Structure 1
Amino acid sequence: MLKFYYNPVSPNVRRVWLTLLEKEIPFETVLVKLNGDQLKPNFLQINPFHHIPVIVDDGFRVVESLAILDYLESKYPTPAMLPTDPQQLATVRMVQMVTANELFPKVISLIYESEDSPQFAEAKQHIDQVLKFFTVALGTGTFFGSQQLTLADIVAGAVVPLLPRLGINLDDYPELQAWYERLMQRPAWQKTEISAEDFEQFKRRVRVLVKLHRHKLNQANK
């Protein structure tokens, strides 16, 4: 049976978790506690970069959440979560990449930066641009690129639900609010919804990792 190495505090983990549930793929969970389990030798043999999520399927290991999603879509193609029409497929890929490269880094800024800082204000402005882009990409569709759930909904739908907890009002984006409400009615989203306690743990972990990263940069520049 497929093994899924996870921790519920991670949005990247949630991408894979949602896909496994939506595709109804049988899997066994292996909880990785982020207070040191990810650095233990037995886990480093699975992922030397000490990140989650990881899956091991029939002895084949896949790291990095977007690569895992592509693997699951290819091996378990029903229900299909990637459209075949070129424009629809491009929409799915754009939403995935914009979430990973434009939205999620600014979520990190909202968590780490002081609310009266220029960086915090810039992050909110950038998130507004992303949500407007998503509104156009969604158009009149039920989901991104399709009338059926796609991997774009999986990826964006693991991050956008964090925004109201960080003071971003989705009511200002009515089409996205309706999309978000459709997702939250699905059992997979209800099962994987991050608890208030886990969300606070996620924020604490973000602050520690950003502080550590900036310290390393400062040391390298000396």
Structure 2
Amino acid sequence: MVLKLYGTAGANGTTRIVALTLAEKQIPFEMVPISLAGENKTPEYLAIHPFGQVPAIDDDGFILYESRAICRYLAEKYQDQGTKLIPTELKAKARFEQAASLEFANFNPYAWTIYFEGLNKARRGVAKDEAAYDNAVAQLSNTLDVYEVILGKQKFLAGDEFTLADLFHIGFGVFLAPAGCDLMTTKGPNITRWWNEINARPSNVMLKGGATLTSNMFTPEALHA
């Protein structure tokens, strides 16, 4: 039974990082689009995700939700397939978890707020909360000051290999510039180098420009075109 991915067809932040993990690990999947305009609150979907959120997966009867938990599960289940996204050596794995924690606590909350206030609300014709937006930009700038130092010593956030800790940043990081925040390419040369590299991964490039996420999008031929 092919793995089913329940998420937004437009591959928003959390659905995107699961889709990118599937692509990096070369895992076939069936895309099951879920509309957040009510389809996510049906009894059928609430039996899959009790909070009525996305994404979720059904891996041959094993149901799992929460994007980062899904990504870790896939990376470890398919450890020897595709890109190695979680180190196995004890200290390297500890550094990975450290970097992943940094993203979750010090990047994602501010990137999400910038996206929500600067882009999501604009798409819906709602005025943004300027104070909330400006505070998120200031807090993200502080985080990136530290990233600039870290990335001056190593290629990626967990060391010299690309991991889920880097991939997690793509989810809402790609929406920063459209939301009016250019910090990822102006804050410092180390951040710019790192961001340009992870943002240019073939799987992510295929999702740019509002592309619809489909089951057969990430073929080996397409990813290596």
Gaps of 5+ in 2: 118-127, 213-225
- 1:1-222 to 2 correspondences below 5 Å: 1-7=2-8, 8-78=10-80, 79-110=83-114, 111-112=116-117, 113-115=128-130, 117=131, 119-169=132-182, 170-193=185-208, 195=210
| Deviating 4+ runs (over 4 angstroms) | none
Secondary structure, aligned partner of 2:158: coil
C-alpha displacement at 1:91, in angstroms? 3.4
Separation in 2, partners of 1:104, 1:43 = 26
Separation in 1, partners of 2:42, 2:151 = 42
Structure number with greater CO (CA < 8 Å, separation at least 6) is: 2
Q: Deviations over 1:55-75 (max 9, x none)?
A: 111210111111111111221
TM-score of the superposed pair, with normalisation by structure 2: 0.77
Secondary structure, aligned partner of 2:178: helix
Counterpart code for 1:192: L
TM-score of the superposed pair, with normalisation by structure 1: 0.78
Gaps of 5+ in 1: 198-222
Separation in 1, partners of 2:86, 2:150 = 15
C-alpha displacement at 1:46, in angstroms? 0.9
Counterpart code for 2:177: P
Aligned Cα RMSD in Å? 2.4
Secondary structure, aligned partner of 2:171: coil
Q: Percent identity over the alignment?
A: 30
